[in-house]
Amino acid sequence: MVKLNRTTEYGLIALRYMSDKESQGDTSVTSARELSDRYGLPFEITAKTLQRMRDTGLIISAQGARGGYTLGRSLSELNVSTFLELMEGPQALVSCTGSSLTSSSSCELQGKCEVKGIMGDLNDRVKEFLTGILLTDLAEFKNIQPLKVEVKESEVHAI
């Protein structure tokens, strides 16, 4: 049916975490390690995901020791459609619909296919719908329990 890929999930976790930090007056940056430790995400992928999010401007990076990421734009103005496109690229709902970057997704039924219009219409509608939903509109994005830092043994003496 309709499905998000996992890195989008990781990205959402990251955004929500940073947003929460910010709203608590915590101005510290968030490192890939911090996220992967806290949520049990694979570090390498978390790091790579954050880099892609930086490329698209969702977050801002600071290199070097004590480096990390902070929010790059106001989440209360970011809609779901835009978020998904930033995370996964301008993919269409269905393969035969244009506006796709990958050449492999161009339909071989070209010309013959009679559902292109139907699919394109559906795609447009879903996109329009998602454009109307802001990330911060989604239930539980805000109003979660304050982040309790359950520090690991290994981290204790490191601080």
Partner DNA sequence: AAAAATACGATAATAATAGTCGTATATGAG
Partner DNA sequence: CTCATATACGACTATTATTATCGTATTTTT
The answer to whether residue 40 forms part of the interface with DNA (CB under 7 A) is no
Distance CA 70, CA 134 (A): 19
**Contact (Cβ atoms closer than 8 angstroms) between residue 67 and residue 61:** yes
- Site membership for DNA, residue 104 (CB under 7 A): yes
Intra-chain end-to-end CA distance of the chain, in Å = 46
Judged by phi (left if over 0) then psi (alpha if -120 to 50, else beta), residue 40 lies in left
Q: Is 125 in the site for DNA (CB under 7 A)?
A: no
Please classify residue 10 by burial: count the beta carbons closer than 10 Å to its beta carbon, then call 0-12 exposed, 13-18 middle and 19+ buried: buried
Compute how many residues bind DNA; rule: CB under 7 A.
30
Q: Among 104, 140, 148, 159, which residue sits at the site for a copy of itself (rule: CB under 8 A)?
A: 140
Binding part of the chain for DNA, among 19-27, 78-86, 102-110, 124-132 by CB under 7 A, reads: 102-110
84 binding a copy of itself? (CB under 8 A): yes
* H helix runs in the chain, sequence order: 6-23, 32-39, 43-55, 80-88, 116-131, 153-156
Site string for DNA, 50-89 (x = CB under 7 A): xx--xx-----xxxxxxxxx--------------------
Sites of contact with DNA (CB under 7 A)? 3, 5-7, 31-33, 42, 44-45, 47-48, 50-51, 54-55, 61-69, 95, 102, 104-105, 158
